[in-house]
Amino acid sequence: MSPKILTGIKVLDLTNVLSGPFTTLHLALLGAEVIKVENPKGGDLARCLGIVPELNKRLMGTSFIAQNCNKKSITLNTKSAEGKAIFLRMAKDADVVVENFRPGVMDRLGLGYKALSAINPKLIYCAISGFGQTGPDALKPAYDQIIQGLSGEMAVNGDERLNPLRAGFPVCDTVGGLNAAFAVMAALYHRERSGEGQYIDIALLDSIMPLMGWVAANLLIGKQQPVLMGNDNFTAAPSGTFRTMDGHINIAANKQEQWEAVCDVLGCPELKADPRFQERDTRKRNRKQLTPLLEAKLAGKSTAAWVDELNAKDVPSGEILDLEQALRQPQMIHREVLKSVPLEGFGEVEVFGLTAQFEKTPGTVETPPPTLGEHNAEIYSGLGISEIELVELKTKGVI
């Protein structure tokens, strides 16, 4: 078996729902031992979130399955004195702690970075929250939709008929999780060189903003407010979505030679000499006049036919797939983006694996998401807690 980049790294994961679990999923796929520390009363909220009622009742909701392969699960009431003591014992030799509570929660429990770093100076502690640990909005509640609105992301989507418009998936939670995973990896690299642990403060609002770099740069530097363009690309024309005989096609003719190739392929070479469309900036200004001329030609063939012809001339183009088609397209199958894992009592389920393909240290899905408290005996016995003590702790509600 190939070595994993994070083999030997122990992560204590106190996160719930999406941003934090998405962070620790990537660490787990890279080989870290990720131990989910869950509330004995139901565990991670995502366990009961999903479209399959049977799985929700079993605390294995589809939302949980999507983010928690390769992890171990223990139950622990960190609000109890005994639970705190157990967590502190675990933290002494942990490499990373990740949590996504509101600011101050872990400190009030006596389990914040200050307390943990005092017993483990090499610890990397990553706190994920909506707005960060400091600032006027730090203590406000936040879900993905709230951050989408406050980031300006919803304001730049759609067109004059449909705006504001949220992204169709929780983009802020997801990007926040990726940012946190990147930060933890960077902190581990720093620790390799210096021996120092450190505190990481990740805000979902901070994380999403740089993704709008081009749009923001036009405003910050060019003083141009975002223009609602729907499926058109503001950087070039023709670049966007166009109607064909049987549906729609995405065309991205961002270069002058690509624009000219579009004219040749569609059989309208005269447009190359039209003063409204000759140069990039004039085409952008006149895109509303250009689009119907192109769609009149595109109506003559199917989307698939145009995709083949345009790509053959180095004009980036593609079909617009629904999610099922996207997941099953040959390129995704070739890249093995989806992995199958067995879910006890349910059968095989498909989940996403690690999409970064490492030549020497590949990461992959090895175990299905854990049932709540599945690894209590394994983890707690490693701390020297006997079976009799485990029964007592369970009776008390500590685990």
256-292 residue pLDDT tens:
999 999 999 999 999 999 999 999 999 999 999 999 9
**How many Cα neighbours within 13 Å face the side chain of 118?**
6
* Residues 62-81, mean pLDDT to the nearest whole number: 97
Whether residue 309 is found in the same domain as residue 339: no
pLDDT confidence of residue 122 = 98
Structural domain containing residue 188: 10-210+334-396
Q: Write down the pTM of the prediction.
A: 0.94
- Cα four-point dihedral sign 131, 137, 138, 144: negative
pLDDT confidence of residue 3 = 81
**Tens digit of each residue's pLDDT (9 = 90 or more) over 360-380:** 999 999 999 999 999 999 999
173 is annotated as an active-site residue: yes
* Residues 91-95, mean pLDDT to the nearest whole number: 98
Whether residue 255 is found in the same domain as residue 363: no
Whether residue 264 is found in the same domain as residue 340: no
Establish if 327 belongs to a structural domain: no
Whether residue 347 is found in the same domain as residue 305: no
Of the candidates 44, 95, 144, 173, the residue annotated as catalytic is 173
Tell which of 321, 347, 366 closes a domain.
321
Mean residue pLDDT of the chain comes to 96
Which CATH number does the domain housing residue 247 bear? 3.30.1540.10
C-beta neighbour count of 181 within 10 angstroms: 21
pLDDT confidence of residue 1 = 62
Q: What is the DSSP letter of 388?
A: H
pLDDT confidence of residue 378 = 97
Whether residue 260 is found in the same domain as residue 350: no
Establish if 223 belongs to a structural domain: no
Establish if 282 belongs to a structural domain: yes
Tell which of 321, 344, 378 closes a domain.
321
Spatial distance between the Cα atoms of 224 and 338, rounded to a whole number of angstroms = 41
Whether residue 63 is found in the same domain as residue 158: yes
- Cα four-point dihedral sign 297, 300, 304, 306: negative
